[in-house]
Amino acid sequence: MSTTTLTEFPSHNPATGEVIGTYRNASVEDVNAAVARAHASSRAWQALGFAGRKKVLVAWDAVISKRLSEITELVALETGKPLSDASLEISLAIGHLDWAAKNAARYLSPVTRNPGLIMANMKARVERAPYGVVGVIGPWNYPVFTPMGSIAYSLAAGNTVVFKPSEYTPGVGEWLGATFAEVAPFPDIFQVITGLGATGQALTNAAVDKIAFTGSTRTAKKVAAAAADRMIPTVLECGGKDPVIVDSDANIKKAAEYALWLAMSNAGQTCIGAERVYVHHAVADEFIREIGDMAKEIHPGINKNYGPATMPSQLNVIQSHIDDAAAKGAKFLIGGTDSVQPPFVQPTIMLDVPEDSLAITEETFGPTLTINRVQSMDEAVALANATRYGLGASVWSKRNGEKIASQLVTGMVSINSVIGFAGVATVPFGGVKDSGYGRIHGPEGLHEFTYLRSVVSERFALPFAFTTFKRTKFADKFLTSVIKFLH
C-alpha cells in the first residue's frame, strides 16, 4: 500500500476479510498539528495536579467500564480474537488505568533528600516532572491493554499524549480517543491519529518529548534512531521468544495446561506468549503426553479457542518457521506443515527442534510451540538464555523455581504460573536485549514518563561562602579541616 497517496485506509475483520471501517491516513502535517495542540494543552493538564488528573482518569475508567461490551466487540472485530479474550484484555487495561490514576501522587510527588554535613545549610528535594508530550505507537495484538500501559501512565504523570494505533486496529484507537474526549476538561490532552507506518514515522519525527513504542524490534530500532537524532528518550517494548522451563519436580499437568494456553491463546500473537519449552528428560514424556492430549481439544475459528492471524502477512512468517523446523528434522506432536490455513493457523507443537531453527531463534507470533528435552536445569537455563530476546519466562518447579528464575536474562518471570506480571499493576513490564528497554506499569512505569529535577535551596546563610570569588582563606581552611575530620 503506498502511504503517500492515500488519505484514507480500511480496517478489516481478519476472520472474514470484510471491511469494517475507513479511517484517516494522517499526514505529516496532521501529525505535527496534533503534536502542536498537545503542547498547547500541556501546561493546563500539568496545572490540574495529581488530584485533578486522577478525577479525569477515573471518570474515563468509568466510561470504559460502562461501555465494556461495546469496546469488547470492537476489539474482537478488528483483531479476530474471541469476545471473552477481548473482555479479559480490556479488564486488565482498566486495572492499569485505575492504578496509574490513583498512585501517581504517591510515586511522583517530590521527595526530600539529606543535604549532608558540609551542605547542612541547604535543603534538597528531587522532583519528577512530566516530559510534556508523549507519542505512543501501539500494536494490534492487544490494542487496548498494551498502549494503555503507556497512555494511562503518561497521562497520570502529567503528560499530554498523541497516540498512533496500529493500522490493523484504528477503530479501537479512535474509540479510546472518543471516550476520553467525553470526560476531558479541555481538548487535546489525549489525541488519536490513525494512519499507516508513515504516520508512526511522522510521530517519531514530530516535536514529541518522548516516544513509547510497542511492536517489532526492527521498527523499534528505526524509532530509536529517529529519537536519538532528536535526543529524546524512548521506551521500547518489542517482541520475545519466551521460554517455559519445566523441572522434574513440577506439577506436570498444570505446567502443560498453562503452557498450552500461553502458546496458543490470541493465536500466539502475544509478545509474552510461550514459544519454547525446555523440559527435564525425566518428565518429558509425561509433559508431552499431557500437552498433546489437551492440544487436540483446541481449535481456531470465529469465537472458538482463538481467532485468525490479525496481520495476514504473519502467516508467511509462521509457515516459514514451521517449514524450516520440518526441514531440519523436527517432529510434529500436533499440526504439521499444513497447519497454516488462512486466515487461521491450527495449533502446532514441534518436538526435538534443532536450536538453530527459525522456530527457536526468531519470534514466530503464531500458535506454535517447540518442546525440547534437557538433561538438567542448568542446560534449560543456558538454552533459554541463548536468544537475542529477553522479555518474559515461565518456570515450573516445586523446589527450584526461585533459583531457576534468578538465572534468566529476562525482564519478567512467572513461577508456577504464567504472565502474572502483566496483570499485577504494581510490577514493571518490559524486557532486555532485543526485547527493548524502559518499563511500563507500576511505580517504574510512572517514573518512565517523568524526568528528574533536583532542587537545592539555601535554608540559612553560613558566615562564609564557598561558591563565590569572595571566598576567604578561612573558608578554605575550614573546608579542608572538615574533610580531613570526616574522611
Which positions are annotated as active-site residues? 237, 271
Q: How far apart are CA 177 and CA 161, in angstroms?
A: 10
Question: Counting contacts by CB under 6 A, is residue 167 touching ligand NDP?
Answer: yes
Question: Counting contacts by CB under 6 A, is residue 141 touching ligand NDP?
Answer: yes
Question: Counting contacts by CB under 6 A, is residue 197 touching ligand NDP?
Answer: yes
In the region spanning residues 450 to 479, those forming contacts with ligand NDP, defined by CB under 6 A, are: none
Q: Candidates 70-78, 91-99, 192-200, 350-358 — which segment interacts with ligand NDP by CB under 6 A?
A: 192-200
| Grid cell for residue 317 | 512468517
Maximal CA-CA distance, the chain: 87
Q: How far apart are CA 387 and CA 305, in angstroms?
A: 29
Residue 120, C-beta contacts closer than 8 angstroms, at least 6 positions apart = none
Give the residue, chosen from 124, 222, 444, 478, that forms a contact with ligand NDP under the rule CB under 6 A: 222
Nearest to 277 by CA among 351, 329, 378, 328: 351
Q: Candidates 69-77, 88-96, 235-243, 373-381 — which segment interacts with ligand NDP by CB under 6 A?
A: 235-243
Residue 430, C-beta contacts closer than 8 angstroms, at least 6 positions apart = 235, 237, 391, 411, 412, 436, 437, 438, 439, 440
* CB closer to ligand NDP out of 238 and 395: 238
Q: Cβ 88 to ligand NDP, closest distance in Å?
A: 16
Residue 293, CA distances (Å) to 296, 297, 446, 461, 482 in order? 6, 7, 43, 78, 75
Q: What are the backbone dihedrals phi and psi of residue 457, each rounded to the nearest 5 degrees, phi first?
A: -135, 160
Q: How far apart are CA 487 and CA 483, in angstroms?
A: 6
Give the residue, chosen from 135, 200, 243, 430, that forms a contact with ligand NDP under the rule CB under 6 A: 200
Q: How far apart are CA 213 and CA 164, in angstroms?
A: 10
Question: Counting contacts by CB under 6 A, is residue 151 touching ligand NDP?
Answer: no
Q: How many residues bind ligand NDP (CB under 6 A)?
A: 30
Question: Counting contacts by CB under 6 A, is residue 89 touching ligand NDP?
Answer: no
For residue 312, cis peptide bond before it (omega within 30 degrees of 0)? no
Q: Cβ 124 to ligand NDP, closest distance in Å?
A: 40
Q: Cβ 202 to ligand NDP, closest distance in Å?
A: 8
Question: Counting contacts by CB under 6 A, is residue 419 touching ligand NDP?
Answer: no
* CB closer to ligand NDP out of 276 and 280: 276
Question: Counting contacts by CB under 6 A, is residue 365 touching ligand NDP?
Answer: yes
Which residues in this chain contact ligand NDP in the complex, by CB under 6 A? Answer: 137-141, 146, 164, 166-168, 196-197, 200-201, 204, 214-216, 219, 222-223, 237-239, 271, 311, 314, 317, 363, 365
